[in-house]
Chain A
Amino acid sequence: MAERAHGAVETGIVTVTVRVSRFHPETDRSSGQQDYLVPAGPGMTVLDALVYIKEHLDGSLAYRSSCRMGICGSCGMFISGLPRLACQTQIRALGPVVTVEPLPNYPVVRDVVPDLEPMVTHHTAVRPFIVRGGEEQEYPTAEYLQTPVELDAYLQFAYCIKCGICLSACPTLATDPAFAGPQALAQVYRYSADSRDDGRRARLGAVDIAHGIWRCHLAGACTEACPKGVDPALAIQLLKRLIVADVLGIGRRRGPAPVAPPDMQAQRRPDIPAAPPATVPGGSGAQKNQP
């Protein structure tokens, strides 16, 4: 409490009641609640408050976090009525009582730790990687050529950090576990709209089913909840357009992006130092760079 000596900091501290959902799988049958009084200074996040509780008030509290800066997607929680990242939510913007619950639509591991397995299952099922036919997939020879315009067609959706928050916001997933959910569907679009990809047919076929993409009714909640501005709702609507164009045969069909043409045998300028010798003898590019 030495910080209290600094007047500016002291006036900046208010006490916030953090109402945390508690659940222990071995002793509890359903979730309960527990209140903690946390001194909150300016800039304090909900994750900071949970850290404070665990360090000073109750060591038995379980939560999941890692990077503390909105990159890893570990600390998705249902905070004061909306699913958000605890590390990016300012606690003093939420009023005197802040409720922290585990993300809805997931099983609970313990306290506010959700089991994100449903999201991961759907995500892996949609082939979230670039698919190329033939040898190029397993034994790539060079990079694919892509224009900046082609990059912008999918880049926004590539920023997904798999925090699972959009699946908590989705009203369809509130009742339908078979629905792929905003995260997986956005990734279907992200890879299908990528000009380097050639696996669109299989990917679209997998979501063009009764419990698939058509159970999205554009409630927009996933986009509003997304902490990274990935806009899954936009990706899903663009994916609907892609499928409809495919079905009606009106889509512009272009083959996948070509592989970069071979080395032009350019000469190294004398003022640029030579590359170090190849670590693997006979490596493809290294020998050409030898003076």
Chain B
Amino acid sequence: MAEAARRVQSGPPKRIGVRGWVYAGRYGLDRYLYILQRASGLGLILYLFLHIYETGIRLRGEAAWSATMALFRTPVFVVFEFILFAGFVFHALNGLRLIFAELGWLLGPPTRPVYPYRTSIRRHRPWVYALMVLTGLFVALAAWDIFVLLD
């Protein structure tokens, strides 16, 4: 009897781990946007620290400042600037959408679950498409400025 009463030992917890953040697999669009939002956010905060350091160079005088700015006009840094800009555009527009959605707007009211289910995520999809179109537009404009106008 004691054998039967013994609680069955569960196996190892199959927690997905950080892979669960970066792998969206067969889940929907919002899960991919979550990954991009997280990646762009981490990139931007990393850049902010570099940026704070880099703007401090002006205290060392004009020569040091101009040398740094000249470095930023090399092709590697121009590409880097474009990636940064694309990250910012996406993070800002998607973030704007998330501010509204996380405060309960743009999702629609609760409905009775009658099959086929219409979820808030589906009702919200047009805003996701709008965000993607706008992001694409702004990133294209940035590409035009950074790579074509070459200011």
- A188-B19 Cα distance, complex, nearest whole Å: 28
Most chain B CB atoms below 10 A, which of A28, A107, A177, A228: A107
* Interface positions of A from 77 to 116, Cβ below 8 Å from B: 80-82, 102, 104-110, 114-115
B13 contacts the other chain (Cβ, under 8 Å)?
yes
Which of the segments A120-128, A151-159, A273-281 contacts the partner chain?
A: A151-159
Q: Enumerate chain B residues within 8 angstroms of A244, measured Cβ to Cβ.
A: 103
A224 touches B110 (CB 8 A): no
Binds B, one of A40-48, A199-207, A230-238, A263-271: A230-238
In the complex, chain B residues whose CB is within 8 Å of the CB of A23: 11
Whether the Cβ atoms of B113 and A230 lie closer than 8 Å is yes
CB distance from B88 to the nearest CB of A (A): 18
**Chain B 101-127 residues near chain A, CB threshold 8 A:** 101-104, 107-115, 117-121
Query: Interface residue count for B (Cβ, 8 Å)?
Result: 44
What interface size band does chain A fall in?
A: 35 or more
Cα distance A61–B10 in the bound complex, in angstroms: 16
Expressed in whole angstroms, the Cα–Cα distance for A235 and B107 within the complex equals 10
A residues 243-271 in Cβ contact with B at 8 Å: 244
Set of chain A residues within 8 Å of B149, measured between Cβ atoms: none
Contacts of B20 on A, CB cut-off 8 Å?
104-105, 171, 173-175
* A237 contact from B16, B103, B113, Cβ within 8 A: B103
Stretch at the interface among A9-17, A138-146, A213-221: A213-221
Residue of A nearest to B104 (CB): A241
Q: Is the CB of B104 within 8 A of A237?
A: yes
The CA-CA distance from A174 to B120 in the complex, in Å, is 23
Across-interface contacts of A81 in B (CB, < 8 A) = 25-26
User: Are B120 and A234 in contact, CB atoms less than 8 angstroms apart?
Assistant: yes
User: Distance (Å) between the CB of B58 and the closest chain A CB?
Assistant: 37
**In the complex, what distance in Å separates the CA atom of A41 from the CA atom of B9?**
37
User: In the complex, what's the smallest C-beta–C-beta distance from A91 to chain B, in angstroms?
Assistant: 16
Asked whether A49 is an interface residue with its Cβ less than 8 Å from the other chain, the reply is: no
Nearest B-chain residue to A70, judged by Cβ: B115
* Pairwise interchain contact B102-A240, C-beta atoms closer than 8 A: yes
| Contact (Cβ within 8 A) B119 A231 | yes
Q: What sequence of 0s and 1s flags, for each residue 148-184 of chain A, a beta carbon within 8 Å of any chain B beta carbon? A: 0000111111010000000001010111010000000
On B, residues with C-beta under 8 Å from A are 8-21, 24-28, 30-31, 33-34, 37-38, 98, 101-104, 107-115, 117-121
Interface residues, chain A, with chain B CB atoms under 8 Å away: 23, 25-26, 28, 30-31, 80-82, 102, 104-110, 114-115, 117, 152-157, 159, 169, 171, 173-175, 177, 217-221, 223-226, 228-231, 233-235, 237-238, 240-241, 244
